[in-house]
Structure 1
Amino acid sequence: MNSRKKLTTASTTAVLAAAAVIAVIRAQAGAAEATPPVVTQTVEGMNAQIKLGTYPAKILQNNAFTVTLTDQDGLPVVDSKLDVVLSMPSMLCGDAAFDLKEVSPGVYEGEMIPIMTGIWEATVTAELDGSSTTFTRKVKAER
């Protein structure tokens, strides 16, 4: 009877652990799905508004990607060099890098092409006057 009780306890623990893992996965997926097409972040006094033209992004297609940079006073950050790396942290696939071009004061545009469905992470690095600031956002991609 004692071994039966241990088996029941072990089974219950395994079921609870599996339920916890499933809950975490669902919460992460739900959080990524809830990411809006426009995300605003402030890092080291620089504000970035990161906007996707289509959301969720479409795989194997050009998707507009716009970053608007302002300083702590709300003035446009001009002449910055912006690089973006698109990666999929949950997969062992390669990264896709692309540049953004300044189209008006503080507004930088480019196109991203996710190669598969899922949750991607876009890391935007803004270089200005010898220093760099990094912003990140989740991007959901689908067919």
Structure 2
Amino acid sequence: MMRKFVALRLSCLLLAPFTLFGCAPQDHVGHASTAAAQQTNTPMLEELSIPLQVTLEPSPARNVQENALHITVPAEHAAKLETATVSVSLSMPNMDHGAIVFEAVKEKEGEYVAQIIPTMLGDWLATITFELDGKAMSTTYPFRVEP
């Protein structure tokens, strides 16, 4: 009886590291996939299935300074949004101090620029809204503000 108990304990001790190591890569893969998805997440106007290309200059954004948020609509979809009014609303997901709204200016067909001024360091969310024929369509673009 004692031998079986010792053998069982020994088996458990020997199998424990394999179980732990076997689970670890799956956990890390899940986190890596989430991080990769967040970094490569393309802002999308879901209502019209239009992906947007959004870039920020400088990147990371600077605090209490103008930063250019460039919004580009793919050429094959630009005509659909030709008469749209575009605005950008900035908010901090971890704060409750309201939003700051900026107008985006149409540079040329399918290209818009909003001069945004974030007012604090940290993580921000730009909500990009296209208003067309009385309907609003929005998507979000996360970014970080550093000194």
TM-score, structure 2 normalization: 0.66
Deviations 1:48-80 (A, max 9, x none): 111111111000110001111248xx2313121
| Of 107-116 and 40-49, the range deviating more from structure 2 | 40-49
- Counterpart of 1:94 in structure 2 is 98
CA contact (8 A) 2:50 2:77 kept: no
The one-letter amino acid of 1:75's match is H
Identity of aligned residues (%): 32
Q: How many residues align?
A: 110
* Residues 1:78 and 2:82 are matched in the alignment: yes
Amino acid of the structure 2 residue aligned with 1:49? Q
AA of the residue aligned to 2:91:
S
Say whether residues 1:113 and 2:117 are aligned partners: yes
**Alignment map for 1:116-127 (pairs within 5 Å):** 116-127=120-131
Q: 1:35 to 1:62 in 2, by over 3 A?
A: farther
Report matched runs for 1:1-143 at 5 Å: 31=35, 35=39, 40-42=42-44, 43-44=46-47, 45-70=49-74, 74-76=76-78, 77-143=81-147
Unpaired segments of 5 or more residues in structure 2?
1-30
* C-alpha displacement of 1:97: 0.7
- Whether the 8 Å contact between 2:121 and 2:144 is mirrored in structure 1 is yes
Give the secondary-structure state (helix, strand or coil) at the position aligned to 1:60: coil
Question: Rg: which structure is higher?
Answer: 2
Counterpart contact for 1:59–1:116, Cα < 8 Å: yes
Change (3 A) 1:130 1:59: same
Higher helix share: 2
Partner Cα separation in structure 2 for residue 132 and residue 70 of structure 1: 19
Cα distance in structure 1, aligned partners of 2:95 and 2:42? 26
Give distance in 1, aligned partners of 2:138 and 2:95.
Answer: 22
Q: CA RMSD in A?
A: 2.4
